Amino acid sequence: MSDTDKRSITGALAAATCTLLGANAGQPVQAQEDPGWDFNTALLYYGEDDDRVQDLSVSLLARRTFVDDRVLSLGMTADVLTGASPSGALPQGFPQTFTRPSGNDAYGIDANLLPLDDTFRDTRVALTADWQQPLGRLYQVNVGASASREYDYTHFGINGKIARDFKQRNTTLSAGVALARDRLDPVGETPIGLTPMLNVGDLSNRTGAEDKTILDVVFGVTQIISRDLLVQMNYSYSDSSGYLSDPYKLLSVVDGVSGETIAVAQTPGVGGPSHLYLHEHRPEDRAKHSLYTQAKYYMGGKVLDVSYRYMTDDWEIDSHTIDLRYRWPLADKRYIEPHLRFYSQTEAEFYRLSLTDGDPLPAYASADYRLGDFDALTVGAKYGWTTDSGNPMSVRLEFYQQSGNVAAEQLIGSQVNQDNYPDLSAIILQFGYQFGN
């Protein structure tokens, strides 16, 4: 085979790959805007069933365009969260009591009910700032910062990105880096991992605030394939280090034959756990790799938006995400956009439903359902229109459903009869309104 043949085959394979990936390079083309402020606002309600998490959120994104395509963006989001979250402890055929995370009180869970910690209540305020400007004729740079504050959590982050256009701006290569430093200061301070839940008033297994550092790096290619097709592909690496556990999550310690949680002797007059529960403990490092590709295809007024993400990490979690949106224009600048999202993940290597009494303690363990093996589906639609004054408005309604899978070999004795994995159903309702300039 001649070199020319090899090159043509390589080129054909590459073109085929490009087509399969829906790929195409190219800078996302931004319409030139007149200088001035633009505001994008949203009101969100997120509600889970069974009295679990409820979130009411208000967001504002202000964007000021200056001459020479320089853009300043300032964002603010305020959340009010209430409700209960699964603690990780198993439901049992008898009532259970737990010490609250604060260590100040105890609460009870009826027989056959999933233990939920109902002290979850928080407000969160998040701020972002981003500056974007061209650098020479072909480069564009972004620098940004973010901060957020919750009762028990503080976040600070900085980020930067550079992009360069090639081939008459049909191809854009970009590289970005973000660094975040977060501090966790839990109610009742941080429990030491894999130590037992203690009685009310006993904080002897608690330490102070904990930190974590997150470094993200993203490399991207955007390609314009044709007049109607645009494709992006990103590779991301994320490294987290520090305290990565959830200080409010527990594991039940069970009998190796019956599967029932081990009862502990309670001190008369002192509230505390009825059974043996350990605080979870995750590794102090996590490295994630993601490959993300997105295609936008214009079909005579309708727009198909498809994306796929594959993620793998050194906690042995693999995930696949497919996102489909189809924007369908209606009369009078109205549109409807159905949305489907599929998600599937494998469990972390240290995820386990419970710990067995008498077995040596593992180095790491968590029963957090978010680290388990589950599939999720989002189904919904967005409806958009333009007000008489010419401002875009939208409303979207979506349903999110998570279904967990617990391997049969993880179930011991009576656990077979319980609904151990906390399946989740949630509703997402969001109103959007844009105005300005």
Partner 1 sequence: MKTRLFMLATLMSGAMLINGCSSMGVEPWDRDVLAKEEMQLTTDAIEAATDDHIYFSKEASSGGRGFGGGGCGCN
Q: Which is nearer to partner 1, 260 or 373 (CB)?
A: 373
- The yes or no reply on residue 338 touching partner 1 (CB under 8 A) is no
Q: Which is nearer to partner 1, 58 or 263 (CB)?
A: 58
Q: Considering the complex, what minimum distance in angstroms separates the CB of residue 412 from partner 1?
A: 24
Q: Give the binding-site size for partner 1 (rule: CB under 8 A).
A: 111
Residues numbered 273-332 forming contacts with partner 1, rule: CB under 8 A = 287-292, 294, 296, 298, 303, 305, 307, 309, 311-315, 317, 319, 321, 327
- Among the residue ranges 53-61, 109-117, 251-259, 355-363, the one whose residues contact partner 1 (CB under 8 A): 53-61
- The yes or no reply on residue 169 touching partner 1 (CB under 8 A) is yes
- The yes or no reply on residue 159 touching partner 1 (CB under 8 A) is yes
Buried b vs exposed e over 186-199: b needs ≥16 C-beta within 10 Å? bbbbbbebbeebbe
Q: Considering the complex, what minimum distance in angstroms separates the CB of residue 388 from partner 1?
A: 19
Considering only CA atoms, which of 318, 334, 316, 336 is closest in space to residue 326? Answer: 336
Q: Which helix (H) or strand (E) holds 320?
A: strand 318-329
Residues numbered 29-48 forming contacts with partner 1, rule: CB under 8 A = 29-31, 40-42, 44, 46
| Whether the Cβ atoms of residue 296 and residue 320 lie closer than 8 Å to each other | no
| Whether the Cβ atoms of residue 97 and residue 271 lie closer than 8 Å to each other | yes
Considering only CA atoms, which of 140, 100, 86, 138 is closest in space to residue 402? Answer: 86
Torsional sign, CA 265, 368, 246, 78: negative
3-class secondary structure, 2: coil
Tokens matching residue 377: 């589906």
Query: Residue from 26, 86, 259, 271 that binds partner 1 (CB under 8 A)?
Result: 26
CA atoms within 13 A on the CB side of 217: 4
Q: Considering the complex, what minimum distance in angstroms separates the CB of residue 256 from partner 1?
A: 28
Q: Considering the complex, what minimum distance in angstroms separates the CB of residue 155 from partner 1?
A: 4
| Whether the Cβ atoms of residue 248 and residue 229 lie closer than 8 Å to each other | no
| Whether the Cβ atoms of residue 260 and residue 413 lie closer than 8 Å to each other | yes
- The yes or no reply on residue 385 touching partner 1 (CB under 8 A) is no
Residues numbered 344-383 forming contacts with partner 1, rule: CB under 8 A = 345, 348, 370-371, 376, 382
Q: Which is nearer to partner 1, 247 or 272 (CB)?
A: 247
Query: Residue from 206, 212, 279, 352 that binds partner 1 (CB under 8 A)?
Result: 212
Q: Which is nearer to partner 1, 179 or 262 (CB)?
A: 179
Q: Considering the complex, what minimum distance in angstroms separates the CB of residue 25 from partner 1?
A: 5
CA pair distance 274, 301, nearest whole angstrom = 62
Residues numbered 102-141 forming contacts with partner 1, rule: CB under 8 A = 122, 124, 126
x-marked contacts with partner 1 along 244-263 as a string, rule CB under 8 A: --x-----------------
DSSP string, 234-289: EEEEEEEEE--S-TT-EEEEE-TTT-PBPB-PPPTT----SB-EEE-B--SEEEEE
CA angle 111, 119, 204 (to 5 degrees): 90
- The yes or no reply on residue 9 touching partner 1 (CB under 8 A) is no
Q: Which is nearer to partner 1, 122 or 202 (CB)?
A: 122
- The yes or no reply on residue 54 touching partner 1 (CB under 8 A) is no
Tokens matching residue 27: 């800078």
CA pair distance 107, 113, nearest whole angstrom = 13
- The yes or no reply on residue 96 touching partner 1 (CB under 8 A) is no
Q: Which is nearer to partner 1, 40 or 266 (CB)?
A: 40
Q: Considering the complex, what minimum distance in angstroms separates the CB of residue 93 from partner 1?
A: 29
Q: Which is nearer to partner 1, 206 or 382 (CB)?
A: 382
